[in-house]
Structure 1
Amino acid sequence: MLLLSLAGDAFAHAVAEGDKGYIQEISGAHPIPFMYLGAKHMATGYDHILFLLGVIFFLYRLKDIALYVTLFAIGHSTTMLLGVYFNIGINSYLIDAVIGLSVVYKAMDNLGAFQRWFGFQPDTKAATLIFGLFHGFGLASKIIDYDISPDGLVPNLLAFNVGVEIGQLMALGAILIAMGFWRRTVSFWRHAYTANVAMMCAGFILIGYQLTGYFVT
């Protein structure tokens, strides 16, 4: 009942009214505003940040972190650009539910649940790329909601994507700093399991919110 009462636009890829009004009023290439919007969305997108946290949770070497983050970036950049350019819209609630599922998957992967429960280990690199594609469709649905002018669409999309990558690097930097301090404490391995269980629960909550919003609206 709580989910039914709370589900609404807040649980989709909602567009801030001020940002939406500004974007709808302008035309032509405006790289700086679109870079800002891209960075803002990624830096404040708790679902994207949770997935990113799960991806790097047990990664220690910078080259491994760079590989997985690059795969994620390739995935969401591809579907974001193509989705907006070809106007491929997916219901925001459904795509956000899949993004919540990606958080659940990564937490389960970190817990070793697939090996213990199902006897197999998914390809983590492929999964990161595939879920990146879904995250990109989430970004595309947000941009389509802006109903931006076709004049200057390509440079504005590229600028938005650059902003997304800047926001992702900012979020990643904050996560790595926090994880670096936590990993130096004796409590890290004692609480790593609990942290991933909490992450998995958060993913299920996100799925519940989005599916409830989809059926209610």
Structure 2
Amino acid sequence: MIRWLVVLLAALIAPPLAADELRPAVVELSERAPGEWTLEWKLPIAAMPGGAAAGLARPVIPANCTMAGEPVQRAAPLELLGSARLACDGAITGQGFGLTELLGNSDAIARMVPLEGAVQTFRLTADAPTATIAAAPDRWQVARDYFVIGTEHILWGWDHLLFVIALVLLVRRGWPVVKAATAFTLAHSITLVGTTLGYTGLSSRPVEALIALSIVFLAVELAHRLRDPERVTWTRRWPWLVAFAFGLVHGFGFAGALAEIGLPQGEVAAALVAFNVGVEAGQLLVIAGVLAVMSVIGRVAAPFETPAVRAATYVIGLTGSFWLFERVLL
């Protein structure tokens, strides 16, 4: 009965969870000619106040700019797209742009793309929903923002998160976990950097399917371990090798999320390194958290350790299977 309740719970929570949950709102201000700018925005429904009430969050334009005509907006699946032409009186350096509001833990990316000079990228938050345009990009501001974006991606990107959790539950012991996590990090760093710099790449659909398959694979290995703790498989013998192989695939997923955000011209290296370090920091937080919980359960409630791992296995396996069928068949 407990197993079927866990399966039912996983079925209920699986559909809302999506790959690469790092899909923030994006506001881009692009210069078309001296004094003429185009403002474009993408507002995910989930990130906006009231969910489907898309019209509540509005773009903020520089104080010395006015809209030339009415903005154009259209609805797309789970997001609102809009654009407007701006006429600006003089330079927009020192002016602010962004969104009227961001609620909860949602964030947004703001980009300023001039005809001459470097692109500036900013991370907007609920406390600071607008950004101030600088004379030149601030390297430390770029590094700070992309570090936070990378950390959030691993913490809120459910497919990557479930893979890391499953890997820790499978390996469990300290040093093997460190080796597997290091192999996973090295692998996804290779494909992340290679794809971002244009040396390699895969389309998003097979990547997302393979990421879901990696979760199912580890869930099956977890189930085998629970059934037969003495059974030796390749994964249990060389977990770092399996983590490295699937890490290459997950790196393509990280690169896809980063491509959606964009990298600031002139600070590509700083942004890329900071994003990757942020991903690693988030990953280490997850690993430490899972190991801490397992340690507490083992010391305080040892009889419940195996049922807890079994329940987690069902949730991880069913969620990964749902994603796999969804990404292959739909």
- Tell whether the structures are fold-level matches, with TM greater than 0.5: yes
Structure 2: distance between partners of 1:150 and 1:61: 43
Give the structure 1 partner of residue 23 of structure 2: 15
Give the structure 1 partner of residue 145 of structure 2: 33
Greater shift in the superposed pair: 187-196 or 78-87: 187-196
How far off is 1:23 after superposition? 4.5
Judge conservation of contact 1:74–1:129 (CA < 8 Å) in 2: yes
For each residue in 1:78-114, what CA deviation from the matched residue of structure 2 results, as whole angstroms up to 9, or x when unmatched?
111111011644333331221111110011112228x
How far off is 1:192 after superposition? 3.0
Amino acid at match of 2:194: L
For each residue in 1:19-78, what CA deviation from the matched residue of structure 2 results, as whole angstroms up to 9, or x when unmatched?
564256515431000101001101112111111111111434321111111111111111
For each residue in 1:133-164, what CA deviation from the matched residue of structure 2 results, as whole angstroms up to 9, or x when unmatched?
11111000111112323321111100111111
1:198 to 2:315 alignment = yes
Give the structure 2 partner of residue 136 of structure 1: 251
Greater shift in the superposed pair: 44-53 or 33-42: 44-53
**TM-aligned CA distance change 1:11 to 1:87, over 3 Å:** farther
Give the TM-score normalised by the residue count of structure 2: 0.55
Number of aligned residue pairs: give it.
203
Which of these residues, 105, 108, 112, is aligned with residue 217 of structure 2? 105
Give the structure 2 partner of residue 50 of structure 1: 162
Give the structure 2 partner of residue 179 of structure 1: 294
**TM-aligned CA distance change 1:67 to 1:152, over 3 Å:** same
Structure 1: distance between partners of 2:194 and 2:108: 21
Unaligned runs of 5+ residues in structure 1 are 1-6
Mapping 1:147-166, distance limit 5 Å: 147-166=262-281
Give the structure 2 partner of residue 91 of structure 1: 203
The structure that is strand-richer by fraction is 2
Amino-acid identity (%): 23
Structure 1: distance between partners of 2:252 and 2:324: 16
Judge conservation of contact 1:80–1:137 (CA < 8 Å) in 2: yes
Ranked by relative contact order (alpha carbons within 8 Å, sequence separation 6 or more), the top structure is 1
Structure 1: distance between partners of 2:272 and 2:145: 11
Alignment partner of 1:130: what SS?
helix
Largest Rg, 1 or 2: 2
The structure that is helix-richer by fraction is 1
Alignment partner of 2:264: what SS?
coil
**TM-aligned CA distance change 1:107 to 1:170, over 3 Å:** same
1:209 to 2:326 alignment = yes
**TM-aligned CA distance change 1:85 to 1:20, over 3 Å:** farther
Structure 2: distance between partners of 1:70 and 1:145: 26
Judge conservation of contact 1:23–1:148 (CA < 8 Å) in 2: no
Amino acid at match of 1:136: G
**What RMSD in Å do the two structures reach over aligned CA positions?**
2.8
Give the structure 2 partner of residue 3 of structure 1: none
Judge conservation of contact 1:97–1:206 (CA < 8 Å) in 2: yes
